């Protein structure tokens, strides 16, 4: 029961006063929200959620640029509040494989601007004298790592907002319902009364799904156990001042950490079997002996971790006076892909999610979400990979969340390959082609929940056939070739020589329908949308700052009917963006699960389809980018003359129930041409890289504008659109950086095994220094892929203007080695067929 | 010196206790298990006596198979052996429990010098088992002990009473039931804890006897829901805090 007098209304209600909710209160007040109410069912300053039992250390280096940045900004915020202790941190390796991974982490640190170095066991010992260096191969030292005090930081954030007169708090107040009317959030009901609200943010940590359910929506996370014990008193620590005097140690191969906390050492583990909770089983504050998120340690699960801790730091754990003083199954939040759940909840206007966030990145995420709420977009990209809507239409069931959450838990300190695939709950979304593809021994990758063939083992003969072309492009190194096959190169060459069929590409598809459809589309897209029915455009969608919200294809299939086609992994984000911006007589209708997509591309595509289609399919009847209905065998499809692989041909959109018939019809007739099914290894990598086609979330992101991305070929239309002003400014201004295509000119400069970069590596000048543009942005590989038709391994990277010159010689760092690279293309345009002769079929 | 310490597996509850639907048990679905602070002192005392005098310290419990976990905790604190009298999980009354323990003790090859109990269990608090075991074994018994000295065949046990203390000198073997405050129980080290997980625990099937008691229903007492008044945030709240303290006559 609350003792606070709840206001009758508030502009903004934040549910949850842990580090996330408290940071949000402070950051929103900073950005002008002046009527904020922060509610928590627990007491302040520790309301009993995960913030209260976190081990509070901050390791800044991550293989993701955005996470590294968010952590670094959070560290600055904790430091400004005087709640950060810079202890440094060391990740130790017990195996050679881990040492390689640590090298990769040094490379990521360099890419994203964080200090880091490798240490020998002796150097580790100098920094952490109590560590048993007999069992380690070395370490990764992050001098910028440290520990923070999130409870204190939360207090200071709240105080800051209160000092502005912008915040009131209601502790010990439990939210019992959310009122939604006509898709708008109306009010928050609590056990102390109801508060009308314009906007509501769910920042309730592992209780977030429960709160979301009150509004009839999903926040797909699950509580999961992270075991932690505290051992003390340790004599060695008694003389030190403050909380921590030695670097935090992460024993990566056992998925554990050991960190000094005053006179104790905290030993935490992600090694134990995944123990996932149901949110309804989490006890109330009154029922919980310690706190709701600190249930007692499951002893048998921790047994192996004790052994490993005793191996790595026996000197402190065997201190004769030291005992286990505290042990918990600490509950935290896991999500299906390990990323946070942020942003506007698509189904309810004014309802936001800010959940599943680690202490180390919480303040910065709160800052970015508050920008998103107040000015329409964040400045660090938390949209592409962290949007709460990314599991839209498929990944929100409890079983899915739990199985993926459990799988992801085991990867917490894992060596995760950039192409690594999830294993659990598959297949989940299968297209109409799935059975046929399985028969052809497809190796499936997943995107947006859809099973998509990456390559087909049945095409193994193509490797032999094209052995001359692909010589030197195969990957002898195990890491480089993991989740990859040289069959991809064969499929690629076959498609360029002949014809290939690619499906299903797992697109996110939705229609925008209504009298005001055109005006809305104009407002949201850079390209001209007032086009003839049947015409289409590939267009950026921009935030007000001209950063990328999305790039997608729009076809006008009726006077008041547009079809939007976007990447499957980005469907939920884009739908939410459109949904939240639509005005007037217009509605959004999801089509992703209704339509299967089959691309037929290559020199023989026209001949093959012409034989099958009732209508003529040729350059005479189809302009480039034209979409219209044709009949192929017994099936009616929307044929779209476009391509992401730089070839002449069509994407065929077919009702899901007739997709298999379409596949069979084309596959059988195609035997005459030796048609091959081709995987997304070609579609998403080799084909697009040869053409330097950009990928949302890789090249296209909030940090770079369309001029820098080389996507201003639309010019500036007359109609107004979101981001127009900044877009015009970007076109007129001198680029600070430009997206370039580079090729690796020597894969083994020091001899030995040739290596092939996978993405994320820093670009260096001839002196070995990372390139940094005038805005402080560092150059790194946004995408990497082999171009078999050009015989080169290709990299995309934004380069500072002075380096963005064709023929410029630079270097790329990969696992600690430098490799020479050369700039092939500056800005728009591919290495292969730069004039687009194939795509436009200019030679026919 | 041979010491036997009896402990009882009990749920580790928070402030609010939730009962099962039939109201005959505590809902332990989200609770951990432990043994009471009195018994932690009993284990610590037994371990210290054996450390000082040599011999063996055996931890015993009567309970379901899972109670092995508590025996292991005692072993991690320094007990040498664990002995489980397994039950099917239902609560045994004090009479049946004491009879089972006494029978187990008589069946053991060891001649124990000292039997340590907690003064009362943390859940049912019957205050009976130690006394009844002493009766069965026909040995002296001192309850509520907060200070214990053992010298050869004699023990000097001190218990607090209102306004003073009583000191008893008893011949061993004897039963002593102890209270929290007797000593400061150690936290087991990680290595001890790990070794305890691997220690073998003996089992002796107890003979159930009729207790003549049946638990009908548990009741959770009314809790004081009176709201906390927030007087302000430091340091400006100091004056009001002083007023309240004066009102309560603690100042």
Q: What is the pLDDT along chain B (251 residues), one digit of tens a residue?
A: 999 999 999 998 877 888 999 998 888 887 889 999 999 999 999 999 999 999 999 999 999 999 999 999 999 999 999 999 999 988 899 999 999 999 999 998 899 999 999 999 999 899 999 999 999 999 999 999 999 999 999 999 999 999 999 999 999 999 999 999 999 999 999 999 999 999 989 999 999 998 888 889 999 887 766 667 777 777 888 888 888 888 888 87
Q: Which of A172, A283, A325 sits opposite B14 (nearest CB)?
A: A283
Mean pLDDT across A279-306: 93
**How many helices (H) and strands (E) in chain B?**
6, 11
Nearest residue in A to B69, CA atom: A299
Instruction: For A518-557, give the DSSP string.
Output: HHHHHHH-SS-----TT-EEEEEEE-TTS-EEEEEEEEEE
Q: Number of C-alpha atoms within 13 angstroms, CB side, residue A441? A: 6
Locate all alpha helices (DSSP H) within A164-280, ordered by sequence: 208-214
Domains of chain B: 2-226 (3.40.50.620)
Mean pLDDT of chain A: 96
Q: Which of B17, B33, B187 sits opposite A323 (nearest CB)?
A: B187
Which chain A positions have a beta carbon within 8 Å of B188's beta carbon? Answer: 323-324
A2: pLDDT strictly greater than 50 = no
The CA distance from A761 to A105, in Å, is: 10
**How many helices (H) and strands (E) in chain A?**
24, 38
Residue A762 near residue A111 (C-beta atoms within 8 A): yes
The CA distance from A559 to A826, in Å, is: 38
The CATH architecture of the domain made up of A1-56+149-221+335-416 is 3-Layer(bba) Sandwich (3.50)
Q: Is the peptide bond before A45 cis (omega within 30 degrees of 0)?
A: yes
**Nearest of A65, A93, A98 to residue A815 by alpha carbon:** A98
Residue A551 near residue A696 (C-beta atoms within 8 A): yes
**Token pair for residue A556?**
């006008």
Q: Mark which residues 244-283 of A lie under 8 Å from B by CB.
A: 267, 281-283
The CA distance from A169 to A195, in Å, is: 13
**Model confidence pLDDT, tens digit, residues A314-364:** 999 999 999 999 999 999 999 999 999 999 999 999 999 999 999 999 999
Mean pLDDT across A70-88: 98
Q: At what angle do helices A65-80 and A362-375 cross, to 10 degrees?
A: 100
The CA distance from A475 to A489, in Å, is: 11
Residue B155 near residue B174 (C-beta atoms within 8 A): yes
| SS3 at position B177 | strand
**What is the bridge-based pairing of β-strands B81-86 and B202-203?**
parallel
**Token pair for residue A580?**
């939240």
Q: In terms of C-beta density within 10 A (0-12 exposed, 13-18 middle, 19 or more buried), how is residue B211 classed?
A: middle
Instruction: Give, in degrees to the nearest 5, the angle at Cα A784 between A782 and A787.
Output: 140
Q: Which of B15, B190, B227 sits opposite A1 (nearest CB)?
A: B227
Do residue A3 and residue B16 have CB atoms under 8 angstroms apart?
A: no
The beta-carbon contacts of A549-554 under 8 Å, at least 24 apart in sequence, are A549/A377, A549/A383, A549/A573, A549/A574, A549/A577, A550/A574, A550/A577, A550/A696, A550/A700, A551/A694, A551/A696, A551/A700, A551/A711, A553/A642, A554/A521, A554/A525, A554/A527, A554/A529
Do residue B187 and residue A324 have CB atoms under 8 angstroms apart?
A: yes
Q: At what angle do helices A517-524 and A571-581 cross, to 10 degrees?
A: 120
Phi, psi for B167 (deg, rounded to 5): -120, 130
Which chain B positions have a beta carbon within 8 Å of A325's beta carbon? Answer: 187
Residue A632 near residue A605 (C-beta atoms within 8 A): no
**Token pair for residue A405?**
């959450």
Best residue of B190, B223, B230, B235 to probe chain A, by most A CBs closer than 10 Å: B190
Length of chain B: 251
Q: Which of B13, B69, B230 sits opposite A289 (nearest CB)?
A: B13
Tokens 């006008």 label which residue?
A556
**Model confidence pLDDT, tens digit, residues A118-167:** 999 999 999 999 999 999 999 999 999 999 999 999 999 999 999 999 99
The CA distance from A387 to A343, in Å, is: 6
Residue B238's pLDDT is 87
**Model confidence pLDDT, tens digit, residues A488-522:** 999 999 999 999 999 988 899 999 999 999 999 99
The CA distance from B49 to B183, in Å, is: 12
**Nearest of A480, A442, A435 to residue A460 by alpha carbon:** A442
Q: Exposed e or buried b for every residue in B115-130, given b needs 16+ CB within 10 A?
A: bbbbbbbbbbebbbbb
Mean pLDDT across A529-536: 95
**Model confidence pLDDT, tens digit, residues A66-75:** 999 999 999 9
Residue A842's pLDDT is 65
Facing residues of A798 across strands? A739
Q: Give residue A608's pLDDT band: very low, low, confident or very high (50, 70, 90).
A: very high
**Model confidence pLDDT, tens digit, residues A376-431:** 999 999 998 999 999 998 999 999 999 999 999 999 999 999 999 999 999 999 99
Q: pTM of whole model > 0.90?
A: yes
Q: Is the peptide bond before B87 cis (omega within 30 degrees of 0)?
A: no
Q: In terms of C-beta density within 10 A (0-12 exposed, 13-18 middle, 19 or more buried), how is residue A276 classed?
A: middle
Which residues make Cβ contacts (< 8 Å) with residue A229, sequence separation at least 6? A266, A267, A297, A302, A324, A326, A327, A328, B190
Do residue B13 and residue A3 have CB atoms under 8 angstroms apart?
A: no
Mean pLDDT across A764-790: 97
**How far is CA A521 from each of CA A558, A561, A719, rounded to the nearest angstrom?**
13, 10, 10
**Nearest of A775, A781, A778, A776 to residue A821 by alpha carbon:** A781
Do residue B193 and residue A306 have CB atoms under 8 angstroms apart?
A: yes
**What is the bridge-based pairing of β-strands B114-118 and B174-178?**
parallel
**Higher local confidence (pLDDT), A751 or B228:** A751
Say if B188 is an interface residue toward chain A (CB within 8 Å). Answer: yes
Residue B241's pLDDT is 86
Looking at residue A585, what DSSP letter applies? Answer: S
Facing residues of A763 across strands? A812
Q: Structural domain boundaries of chain A?
A: 1-56+149-221+335-416, 435-505+596-687, 508-593
Residue A295's pLDDT is 93
A184: pLDDT strictly greater than 50 = yes
Residue B88 near residue B64 (C-beta atoms within 8 A): yes
Q: Which of B15, B30, B32 sits opposite A281 (nearest CB)?
A: B30
Q: Mark which residues 35-94 of B lie under 8 Å from A by CB.
A: 69, 72
Return the HEC string of A781-831: EEEEEEECCCCEEEEEEEEEHHHCCCCCEEEEEECCEEEEEEEEEECCCCC
The CATH architecture of the domain made up of A508-593 is 2-Layer Sandwich (3.30)
Residue A15 near residue A203 (C-beta atoms within 8 A): yes
Looking at residue A772, what DSSP letter applies? Answer: B
**What is the bridge-based pairing of β-strands A809-814 and A817-826?**
antiparallel
Say if A287 is an interface residue toward chain B (CB within 8 Å). Answer: yes
A239: pLDDT strictly greater than 80 = yes
- Look up the CATH number of domain A435-505+596-687: 3.30.1360.120
**How far is CA A471 from each of CA A489, A605, A791, A832, rounded to the nearest angstrom?**
10, 27, 9, 18
Do residue A306 and residue B190 have CB atoms under 8 angstroms apart?
A: yes
Nearest residue in A to B233, CA atom: A159
Which chain B positions have a beta carbon within 8 Å of A285's beta carbon? Answer: 14
Residue B92 near residue B62 (C-beta atoms within 8 A): yes
A104: pLDDT strictly greater than 60 = yes
**Nearest of A514, A509, A516, A642 to residue A570 by alpha carbon:** A509
Mean pLDDT across A79-99: 98
Q: Which of A3, A231, A303 sits opposite B197 (nearest CB)?
A: A303
Residue A123's pLDDT is 98
Say if A306 is an interface residue toward chain B (CB within 8 Å). Answer: yes
Residue A542 near residue A723 (C-beta atoms within 8 A): yes
Locate all alpha helices (DSSP H) within A321-397, ordered by sequence: 362-375
**Model confidence pLDDT, tens digit, residues A255-272:** 999 999 999 999 999 999
Residue B247's pLDDT is 85
Q: At what angle do helices A362-375 and A150-163 cross, to 10 degrees?
A: 30
CB atoms inside a 10 Å sphere around CB A63: 18
Residue B212's pLDDT is 85
Residue B28's pLDDT is 87
CB atoms inside a 10 Å sphere around CB B184: 10
Nearest residue in A to B16, CA atom: A287
Residue A843's pLDDT is 56
Phi, psi for A788 (deg, rounded to 5): -65, -30
Do residue B31 and residue A296 have CB atoms under 8 angstroms apart?
A: yes
Q: Which of A3, A290, A299 sits opposite B229 (nearest CB)?
A: A3
Nearest residue in B to A290, CA atom: B14
Q: Give residue A3's pLDDT band: very low, low, confident or very high (50, 70, 90).
A: very low
**How far is CA A220 from each of CA A174, A257, A386, B142, rounded to the nearest angstrom?**
21, 27, 12, 59
């Amino acid at each position: 029961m609350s003792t606070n007098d709840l206001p009758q209304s508030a502009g903004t209600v934040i549910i949850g006063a842990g580090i996330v909710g408290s940071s949000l209160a402070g950051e929103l007040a900073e950005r002008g929200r002046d009527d904020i109410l922060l509610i928590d069912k627990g007491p302040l300053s520790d309301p009993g959620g995960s913030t209260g039992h976190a081990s509070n250390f901050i390791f800044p280096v991550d293989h993701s640029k955005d996470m590294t940045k968010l952590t670094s900004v959070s560290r600055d915020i904790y430091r400004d509040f005087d709640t950060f202790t810079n202890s440094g941190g060391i990740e130790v390796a017990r195996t050679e494989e881990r040492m390689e991974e640590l090298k990769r982490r040094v490379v990521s640190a360099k890419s994203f601007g964080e200090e880091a170095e490798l240490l020998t066991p002796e150097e580790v010992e100098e920094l952490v004298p109590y560590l048993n260096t007999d069992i380690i191969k070395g370490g990764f030292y992050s001098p910028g790592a440290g520990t923070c005090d999130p409870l204190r930081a939360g207090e200071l954030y709240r105080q800051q907002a209160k000092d502005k007169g912008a915040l009131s708090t209601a502790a010990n107040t439990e939210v019992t319902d959310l009122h939604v009317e006509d898709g708008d959030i109306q009010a928050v009901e609590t056990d102390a009364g109801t508060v009308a609200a314009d906007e509501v943010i769910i920042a309730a940590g592992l209780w977030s799904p429960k709160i979301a359910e009150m509004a009839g929506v999903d926040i797909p996370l699950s509580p999961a156990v992270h075991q932690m014990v505290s051992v003390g008193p340790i004599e060695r620590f008694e003389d030190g001042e403050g909380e921590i005097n030695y670097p935090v140690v992460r024993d990566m191969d056992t998925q554990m950490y050991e960190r000094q906390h005053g006179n104790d050492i905290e030993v935490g583990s992600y090694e134990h079997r995944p123990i996932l909770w149901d949110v309804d089983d989490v006890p109330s504050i009154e029922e919980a002996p310690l706190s709701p998120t600190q249930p007692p340690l499951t002893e048998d699960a921790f047994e192996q971790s004790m052994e490993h801790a005793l191996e790595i730091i026996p000197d402190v754990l065997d201190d004769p006076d030291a005992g286990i003083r505290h042990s918990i199954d600490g509950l935290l939040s896991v999500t299906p892909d390990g990323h946070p759940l942020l942003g506007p909840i698509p189904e309810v206007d004014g309802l936001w999610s800010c959940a599943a966030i680690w202490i180390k990145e919480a303040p910065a995420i709160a800052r970015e979400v508050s920008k998103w709420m107040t000015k329409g977009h964040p400045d660090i990209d938390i949209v592409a990979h962290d949007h709460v809507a990314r599991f839209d239409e498929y990944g929100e069931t409890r079983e899915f969340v739990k199985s993926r959450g459990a799988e992801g838990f085991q990867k917490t300190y894992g060596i995760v390959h950039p192409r690594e695939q999830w294993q659990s709950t598959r297949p989940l979304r299968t297209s109409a082609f799935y059975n046929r593809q399985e028969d052809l021994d497809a190796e499936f990758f997943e995107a947006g929940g859809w099973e998509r063939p990456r390559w087909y083992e049945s095409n193994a003969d193509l490797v032999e056939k094209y052995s001359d072309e692909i010589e030197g492009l195969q990957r002898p190194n195990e890491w480089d070739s993991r989740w990859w096959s040289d069959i991809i190169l064969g499929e690629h060459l076959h498609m360029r020589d002949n014809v290939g069929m690619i499906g299903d590409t797992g697109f996110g598809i939705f229609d925008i329908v209504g009298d005001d459809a055109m005006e809305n589309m104009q407002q949201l897209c850079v390209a001209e949308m007032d086009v003839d029915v049947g015409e289409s455009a590939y267009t950026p969608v921009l935030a007000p700052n001209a950063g990328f919200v999305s790039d997608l294809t729009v076809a006008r299939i009726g006077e008041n009917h547009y079809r939007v086609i976007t990447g499957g992994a980005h469907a939920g984000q884009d739908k939410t963006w459109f949904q939240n911006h639509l005005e007037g007589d217009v509605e959004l209708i999801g089509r992703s699960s209704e339509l299967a997509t089959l691309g037929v591309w290559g020199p023989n595509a026209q001949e093959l389809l012409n034989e099958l289609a009732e209508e003529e399919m040729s350059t005479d009847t189809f302009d480039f980018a034209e979409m219209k209905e044709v009949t192929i065998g017994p099936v009616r499809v929307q044929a779209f003359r476009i391509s992401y692989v730089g070839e002449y041909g069509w994407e065929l959109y077919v009702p899901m129930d007739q997709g298999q018939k379409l596949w069979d019809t084309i596959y059988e007739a195609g035997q005459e041409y030796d048609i091959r099914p081709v995987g997304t290894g070609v579609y998403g990598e080799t084909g697009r890289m040869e053409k330097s086609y950009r990928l949302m979330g890789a090249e296209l992101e909030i940090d770079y504008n369309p001029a820098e991305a080389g996507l201003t070929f639309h010019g500036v239309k007359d109609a107004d659109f979101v981001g127009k002003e900044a877009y015009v400014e970007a076109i007129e201004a001198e680029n600070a950086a430009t997206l370039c295509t580079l090729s690796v000119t020597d894969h083994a400069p020091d001899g030995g095994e040739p290596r092939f970069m996978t993405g994320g590596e820093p670009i260096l000048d001839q002196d070995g220094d990372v390139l940094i543009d005038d805005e402080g942005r560092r150059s790194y590989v946004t995408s990497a892929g082999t171009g078999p038709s050009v015989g080169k391994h290709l990299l995309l990277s934004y380069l500072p203007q002075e380096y963005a010159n064709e023929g410029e010689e630079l270097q790329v760092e990969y696992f600690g080695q430098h490799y020479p690279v050369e700039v092939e293309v500056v800005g728009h345009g591919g290495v292969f067929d730069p004039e687009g002769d194939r795509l436009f079929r200019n030679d026919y | 010196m041979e010491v036997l310490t009896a402990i009882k597996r009990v749920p580790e509850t928070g402030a609010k206790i939730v009962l099962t639907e039939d109201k005959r048990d505590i809902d332990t679905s989200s609770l951990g298990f432990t043994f009471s602070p009195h018994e932690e002192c009993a284990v610590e005392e037994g371990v210290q006596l054996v450390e000082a005098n040599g011999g063996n310290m055996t931890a015993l419990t009567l309970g379901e198979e899972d109670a092995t976990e508590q025996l292991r905790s005692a072993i991690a604190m320094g007990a040498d052996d664990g002995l489980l009298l397994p039950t099917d999980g239902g609560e045994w009354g004090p009479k049946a429990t004491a009879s089972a323990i006494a029978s187990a003790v008589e069946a053991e090859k060891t001649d124990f010098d000292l039997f340590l109990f907690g003064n009362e269990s943390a859940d049912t608090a019957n205050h009976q088992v130690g006394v009844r075991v002493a009766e069965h074994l026909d040995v002296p018994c001192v309850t509520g002990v907060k200070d214990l000295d053992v010298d050869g065949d004699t023990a000097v046990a001190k218990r607090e009473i209102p306004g003073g203390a009583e000191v008893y000198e008893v011949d061993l073997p004897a039963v002593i039931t102890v209270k929290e405050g007797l000593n400061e129980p150690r936290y087991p080290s990680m290595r001890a804890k790990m070794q305890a997980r691997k220690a073998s625990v003996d089992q002796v099937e107890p003979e159930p006897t009729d207790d003549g008691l049946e638990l009908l229903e548990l009741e959770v007492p009314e809790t004081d829901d009176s709201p906390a008044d927030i007087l302000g945030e430091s340091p400006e709240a100091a004056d009001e805090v002083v007023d309240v303290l004066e009102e309560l006559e603690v100042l």
